[in-house]
Amino acid sequence: MEPKRVATQPFTDQRPGTSGLRKRVRVFEQPNYLENFVQAIFDTQKGLAGGVLVVGGDGRYYNRTATQTILRMAAANRVAKVLVGRGGILSTPAASCVIRKYRTGGGIVLSASHNPGGPDADFGIKFNVAAGGPAPESVTEAIYARTREIGAYFTVDSPEIDLDRLGTSTLGGMTVEVIDPVADYADLMASLFDFPAIHQLFNSGLFRMRFDAMHAVTGPYAIEILENRIGAEPGTVINGEPLEDFGGGHPDPNLAHAQELVAMTQGTDGLDFAAASDGDGDRNMILGKNFFVTPSDSLAVLAANAHQAPGYKDGIVGVARSMPTSQAADRVAEQLGIECYETPTGWKFFGNLLDAGRITLCGEESFGTGSDHVREKDGLWAVLFWLNLLAARKQSVKDIVHEHWRRFGRNFYTRHDYEGVDAKAAADLVDHLRILLPELPGKRLGAYQVEYADDFAYVDPVDGSRSDRQGVRIGFEGGSRVVFRLSGTGTEGATLRVYIEAYESDPVKHDQDPQTALQPLILIARELAQIEARLGRAEPDVIT
């Protein structure tokens, strides 16, 4: 079966963002659009020829079609073997697990993560390198450059592969192995956490939980691990069937989009523990009875208690957080005497630190937490870590977090998202802030004295690469901060994210509502950035 050369012309809009190329499905359905990007991967990643490639995605609409296209193109580009998840399914952390376990040349992951799915919604594609993590900027820029000059792609004429049957087949001269998408990942989780102790917690008769898979990819993973392997009662996993449109919901595990789950934890009869993951399985939300754990606090608590889990019993060597994430983990690192790194937003920035052995745990405020077990954030891993912690400490979620605050202090934290705003207006707003930066240090804004003001830049301590203009930071004396950043995960318009943080050491004040505690800083942020005047928004669309 000889490769077929198909003439094409470049598209100008295929620069990958922080998590790959994300567009509306209708954009990907354009003739040659997906093919151009995939060919650019093969053209720039020469090691894939003669090697092994992993392919899988979150099961959203267009996932199966894209998978078949990639398989044909992989055969035409002389890939020796492809490991593909049954049904075209692999959660993002599971894809990283498979890439690492079988030492493949990398993987193509089909996902738009927490974005909605369906014919009129979003789709995405990204390349993960042989270490298992998202491609670094040097690779994504090379792929993008190739998309700007591409003149042809290569494919083969062949019937579709049966993606629903486990086993091996051939496509041209290439071997295609359809694998169980859950097994390798579940085995890895069993090596990290104390499943028998968690089983005892479930069987104590004193503990009730639910995991909301949001009709997304983690349903099969959670059912296999929580219900089948650990022994949680059937029905612990809700919305567990992956659907191409996520059941019409928004697969983003936060207080705004998982209200059904949040309601289950409320009141005297509320669940003891609840958790959710997102479209591709790399995010998590943690809830206790009448209690929400912010992602920033979750990272800090896990860092402080890592030794409770068998896979981390010897402690951790370091921790990293994205710049907008609260500084709660910094305080833990300081007390533990380990390094703490502040990186730009985007999981790829943790990859070098993990590969170099400088950190064990890492996380982002956008509901992502992970460790050196894979090279992606991992939603179900974080849930299992919390279950291990609850089983070991025999305390409630609320008590564990409150004890943590008493020891380290509390970083009050919130994120305000202004979604789907005019892209130019949002860019102008950030440019306005950049103009103000030189005059802000030493200035008093309300009751706060500005200590520093900058546009965050990061120099990778491993390879020396530099990333500029990663978000406007305004820091105040005493540790409070306001951060402004344009998000790179949407598909239309722009999203302005405003992060507000204040440190409080007095335990008497730890029970305040964050929106109340941070209200003075919230007003300062809105006025300084002229948000209502520039964006036409009096209030944010989402508050987390």
And the tokens for 244? 């191409």
Place of tokens 């994210």: 497
User: Is residue 59 packed enough to be buried (19+ CB in 10 Å), middle (13-18) or exposed (0-12)?
Assistant: buried
113: annotated active-site residue: yes
Name the maximum alpha-carbon separation found in the chain. Answer: 73
- Cβ atoms of 38 and 153 closer than 8 Å: yes
Q: In the 3-class helix/strand/coil scheme, how is 62-77 assigned residue by residue?
A: CHHHHHHHHHHHHHHC
Query: Residues 16, 19, 23, 25: is their CA dihedral positive or negative?
Result: positive
Alpha-carbon distance of 474 to 50, in angstroms, equals: 50
Tokens 């639910």 belong to residue: 210
Dist. CA 92–CA 54, nearest whole Å: 11
* Beta-strand relationship, 448-455 and 444-445: antiparallel
Whether 321 contacts 329, CB under 8 Å: yes
Instruction: Catalytic residue, from 113, 298, 326, 366: name it.
Output: 113
* Range 66-70 contact pairs with CB under 8 angstroms and sequence separation of 24 or more: 66/28, 66/34, 66/110, 66/123, 66/125, 67/110, 67/163, 68/160, 68/161, 68/163, 69/34, 69/35, 69/38, 69/155, 70/38, 70/108
Cα(525)–Cα(288) distance, integer angstroms: 30
Distance of CA 113 to the CA centre of its chain: 7
| C-alpha distances in Å from residue 432, one per residue of 309, 350, 428, 435, 484 | 47, 30, 6, 5, 11
Residues in the chain: 544
Tally Cβ neighbours within 10 Å of residue 399: 13
**Distance of alpha carbon 43 from alpha carbon 530, whole angstroms:** 45
Name residues whose C-beta falls within 8 Å of residue 228's C-beta, 6 or more positions apart in sequence: none
| Burial annotation 161-182 (CB, 10 A radius, 16+ → b, else e) | bebeeeeeeebbebbbebbebb
User: Cα 367 to the chain's mean position, in Å?
Assistant: 7
Distance CA 442, CA 6 (A): 61
Q: Which helix (H) or strand (E) holds 81?
A: strand 81-89
- CA distance between the termini of the chain: 53
Report d(CA 514, CA 413) in Å as an integer.
6
User: Would you name the residues annotated as active-site residues?
Assistant: 113
